[in-house]
Amino acid sequence: MNYHIKDEGLAEAGRLRIEWAAKSMPVLNQIKERFLKERPLEGVHVGACLHVTTETASLVQTLKAGGADVYLCASNPLSTQDDVAASLVKDSDIPVFAIKGEDNDTYYEHVRAVLDTGPQITMDDGADLVSTLHTQRKELLGNVIGGTEETTTGVIRLRAMASDGVLGYPIVAVNDANTKHLFDNRYGTGQSTLDGFIRSTNRLIAGSTFVVAGYGWCGRGLAMRARGMGARVIVTEVEPLKAIEAVMDGYQVMPMIEAAPLGDFFCTVTGDMNVIRKEHFLKMKDGAIVANSGHFNVELDLKALEELTKKKRTIREYVEEYSLINERRIYILGEGRLVNLATAEGHPSSVMDMSFANQALCSEYIIKKGSGLENRVYSVPKEIDTEIARLKLLSMGINIDTLTQEQEKYLVSWNMGT
Ligand code: ADE
C-alpha cells in the first residue's frame, strides 16, 4: 500500500482514541451498520481531504464498510493526529497521506497523491482537493461522479467556481445542512476553539476581555462559550445584520481598531483575509494572545506582524512570542492556523457525528443519483438533514411530539384565521 504518515508505531494509541471517539458517534455507527449490509458504495473510489482526526477515522471506516476504496489526505498541514493516521493505515488498510506539521509543498504533494489514485467521489474540507483537481489534474475530472464539501470556506470557493462556469462536476454542500452548521459550527467551534486557547496557554478566561472577529455560526458559538467562561466579549463585524444580532445578544460591538487595545484574547472566525493587520497589532496590549479559528491561515496578517518584530521565539508548544518594535509582546497560537485543530483535537465527536453522517449519506445520494445531477453546488436534501436529526434525538433517548391530522391540515390551509 502506498501511503505517507509519520510513524506506524503510533497505531495502537490511535486505535484506542478512535474507539473512544466512536462511542460518541451513534448516528454514524448506525449508518455504518446499514452500509455493511447494503454496500451502497461498492467499488466506489473516494478521495478525501479532511482533518485526520479520530472522528474522520470513523467516517472513512464507514465509507469503507459501504464498499468504498478510500484514500485520505489532510485538509490542513497542522490538523493531523499522527496516531490516527497510523491506525488507519495499519488497522483499517486505508492509505493516508498526512503528517502533522508538514510544510505547504508536502501538503500539496499529499493532495496530489490522493488525486492521482483517480477518485470518483471527492470529499473536501476547504476545497483544496477540488481546486487542485481543476487546476493541476484536469485530465482526471472525467472520472469524477460528484463531491461533498464540509465547510463554509469551501462552499464559498465552490459557489465561486460554479458561478464562473468552471465547476466540473456536482458537489453537495454538507455545510448547508442544519444538522451541520447549527451544531458543528456553533457548539463545535465554540468549545474546541476555547479548548485550543486553554491547552496551548493554560490562561484563565474568566475576567478577561475576549475579542471575537466575525459573528457567523462559528463566531456566535465562540462568543457564547467565552462569555460562559466569564470573559467580557467584544464582537467585531462588517455585516450590519450580524452586528445588530451580536448587539442584541448582549455583546459589545465595535471596529477592530477600537477592540485592539482592549483585548486579552483575540480570535478570528470570518473566512476572510487580513482581518487583524499591522495597525491592530500595534495597538494591542503587551501580552495579547491572538489566534485564528477560520479555515485558512489568512485571517491574521502575520507578514505585517513579522515586519513589526525585533525578536521571535517559541515560548510554549504552539505559542510564538513576537517582541515588537514598540516593546510589547504578542503571542500567536498555532501559526495562525485553525487553533481548535492545531493546538487541541478539533470538535468533539458527538457533534462531528452529525456532520459526518451528512458526509456518508450524501456520498450514497451522489451514487444513487449518478449522472442525474448538474455541475453545480447542491444543498443537502431536506430528508437527509431531518433523518440525521431524528436519529440523533433517538440516540439521546429524547422523544418529541407528532402533528395531529388536524394540525397537519391547518398548516397547509390559508382560509382559517382567528
Ligand atoms: N473539523 C473540526 N473539528 C473536526 C474534527 N474533530 N474532525 C474532523 N474535522 C473537524
Q: Per-residue pLDDT tens for 105-122?
A: 999 999 999 999 999 999
Q: Please work out whether the CB of residue 352 comes within 6 Å of at least one atom of ligand 1.
A: yes
**Of residues 380, 377, 384, the one with CA closest to residue 127:** 377
- Calculate the CA 159 to chain-centre distance: 18
Rounded to an integer, the average pLDDT of 27-41 is: 98
Q: Assess whether the C-beta atom of 69 lies below 6 angstroms from ligand 1.
A: no
Whether 334 and 193 map to the same domain: the answer is yes
Q: Which cell numbers in the block locate residue 15? A: 486505535
- Residue 323 domain-assigned? yes
**Tens digits of residue pLDDT in 370-404:** 889 999 999 999 999 999 999 999 999 999 999 99
User: What's residue 418's pLDDT?
Assistant: 84
Task: Give the C-alpha separation, 345 to 51, whole Å.
Answer: 10
Same domain, 150 and 252: no
- Look at residue 370 in the predicted model and tell me its pLDDT: 86
400 occurs within a structural domain: no
Do residue 355 and residue 333 come from a single domain? Answer: no
156-207 pLDDT tens trace: 999 999 999 999 999 999 999 999 999 999 999 999 999 999 999 999 999 9
Q: What is the pLDDT of residues 22-31, one digit of tens each?
A: 999 999 999 9
Note whether 14 and 70 are same-domain residues: yes
Using DSSP's 3-state secondary structure scheme, residue 263 falls into coil
Which residues form the domain of 282? 189-342
Say if residue 255's pLDDT is above 90. Answer: yes
Going from the Cα of 54 to the center of ligand 1, the distance in angstroms, rounded, reads 9
pLDDT computed for residue 97 by the predictor = 98
- Do 33 and 130 belong to one domain? yes
For the segment 4-15, the average pLDDT, to the nearest whole number, is 98
pLDDT band at 417 (very low <50, low <70, confident <90, very high): confident
Chain centroid to CA 185: how far?
A: 8
> Which residue has cell 521565539?
313
Averaged over 202-221, what is the pLDDT? Answer: 98
Nearest residue (by CA) to ligand 1, atom 8, is 51
pLDDT of residue 64: 98
Residues 324 and 351 in one domain: no
Whether residues 285 and 358 fall in one domain: no
Please give the pLDDT value at position 373: 95
pTM of the model: 0.96
367: left (phi over 0), alpha (psi -120 to 50) or beta: alpha
Q: 90 and 168 share a domain?
A: yes
Exposure string (b/e) for 188-205, b if CB count within 10 Å is 16 or more?
A: bbbbbbbbbbebbbeeeb
Ligand 1: centre distance to CA 193 (Å):
11
- Residue whose CB lies within 8 A of the most ligand 1 atoms, among 20, 52, 53, 338, for a mutation test: 53
Residue 1: which pLDDT band, with cuts at 50, 70 and 90?
low
Do 253 and 363 share a domain, yes or no?
no
pLDDT reading at 416 higher than 90: no
Question: Grid cell 477540488 — which residue?
Answer: 130
pLDDT at 155: 95
Residues 346-363: what's their mean pLDDT? Answer: 98
Cβ(329)–Cβ(322) below 8 Å: yes
Let me know whether 22 and 143 are in one domain: yes
Q: Do residue 48 and residue 154 come from a single domain?
A: yes
**Does 68 fall in a domain?**
yes
For residue 92, what is the domain's CATH number? 3.40.50.1480
Q: Is the pLDDT of residue 263 over 90?
A: yes
Q: Is the pLDDT of residue 304 over 90?
A: yes
Residue 46 lies inside a defined structural domain of this protein:
yes
Domain count, the chain: 2
In the reported structure, the alpha carbon of residue 337 is separated from the centroid of ligand 1 by a whole-number distance in angstroms of 14
State the distance from the centre of ligand 1 to the C-alpha of 55, rounded, in angstroms: 7
